[in-house]
Amino acid sequence: MPMPPHPPPAAALPLAGVTVVALEQAVAAPFATRQLADLGARVVKVERPGDGDFARAYDGVVHGQSSHFVWLNRGKESIALDLKDGREGGDREVLDRLLARADVFVQNLAPGAAERLGLGAEELTARHPRLIACGISGYGTTGPYRDKKAYDLLVQCETGLPSITGGPEGPAKAGIAVADIAAGMYAFTGVLTALYERELTGQGGRFEVSMLEALGEWMGFPYYWAQYGGVPPVRSGARHATIAPYGPFPAGDGGQVFLAVQNQREWGVLCRDVLARPELEHDPRYAANPDRLAHRDELDAEIAAAFSDATADEVLAKLDRAGIANAMLRDMAGFAGHPQLAARDRWREVDSPGGPLRALLPPVTVPGREPAMGPIPSVDQHGAAIRAELGL
């Protein structure tokens, strides 16, 4: 059943009137600018002539379109430009005229590429004092890694994330592009901060975000654990590395139930009211969290045995009644049909060249405000209109 479009008036959105020019590709910068578009900004996406953003070709599973691309590029205008075309009235002049009218410029080109094109942040902000210029890179613009190519999994490795992810048998990457997403989130908040600062000072400015430093910020807990505890957190699969019981347990029907005990009071409640094994509460093997960690395999077996004659739904209901935090391990179909998202009306319909798509609302909910969530563009879909608007 198609979702209601819920079209918002553009003027009701906080970034209405803000123009963003994005020389972007892949994930990090498109994620940042898509969020700006959802808030009402006009985002002009500059793509390569022909194939456009190379993320368009990652796959074709979404009505012939890439799953990454449709996720990251709704609500944008696309123009294809050959930035080496320096003729009068040529593509480079189109970009220069766009930048003269823009409030924000975002780029995540290969190291040094923007500077070679005369689009470095320092040069642009000198030419356009009210412009906010954001550069996203793998490792930053200084230091020995500044010219090193960076992709999400490689940056995950440089931060040590796979070393603490996975199970005892070996490391594993995160299942989503966390380095790209982290960088995109900090670029997004950086742009918002710079826009606010410009309101106060009248001046634009420049800032950079590196994937290494963005994901490094998210590695704070394991860093402190290892730096001051002397050993890194163990790879514990789907179980919490330092708290027990906290992780997956099989129910009698094969469903996987996750539960989390955070303190001694909850541990007692779990033993008495859920497991019906009150003697476990003061068993020396499980008396405190360090004891439970040391005997985790034995404890997990006790809990699995208690759940073996119940369905996953029955176990979840019992945990809810006892006030023990819990969750069902869902697959992607389970997420898409999540009853909480349906009850909160979180799905919308977004148009695309391949047809309408189901899309999740952005997570920041403001009463009475609907994000823009415009259509996904084809390559150069808006090129002629933008050129005409610029007098070219």
Active-site residue list = 240
CA-based torsion, 97, 98, 101, 103: positive or negative:
negative
| Encoded tokens for 208 | 């950079």
What token pair was written down for 85?
Answer: 């075309």
Long-range Cβ contact pairs of 113-116 (< 8 A, separation 24 or more): 114/23
Number of H helices and E strands in the chain, helices first, is: 16, 13
Rounded Cα–Cα distance for residues 145 and 112 (Å): 12
For residues 251 and 317, give the distance between their C-alpha atoms in angstroms, rounded to a whole number.
12
For 362-388, letters b (16+ CB in 10 Å) and e give eeeeeeeebbbbbbbbebbbbbeebbe
- Complete DSSP assignment for 42-69: EEEEEE-TTT-SGGGGS--TBTTB-HHH
Coil, strand or helix: which one is 93?
A: helix
Beta strands 19-23; 132-137: pairing state: unpaired
Q: Tell me if residue 78 falls in helix, strand or coil.
A: strand
- The C-alpha atoms of residue 372 and residue 350 are separated, in whole angstroms, by 10
The token pair at 269 is 């409640």
Q: Alpha-carbon distance 81 to 71, whole Å?
A: 23
Hey, what amino acid is at 193? T
Residue 258, beta-bridge partner list: 248, 327
218 three-class SS: helix
The sign one gets for the Cα dihedral 263, 266, 268, 274 is negative
| Ramachandran region, residue 217 (left: φ > 0; alpha: ψ -120 to 50; beta: rest) | alpha
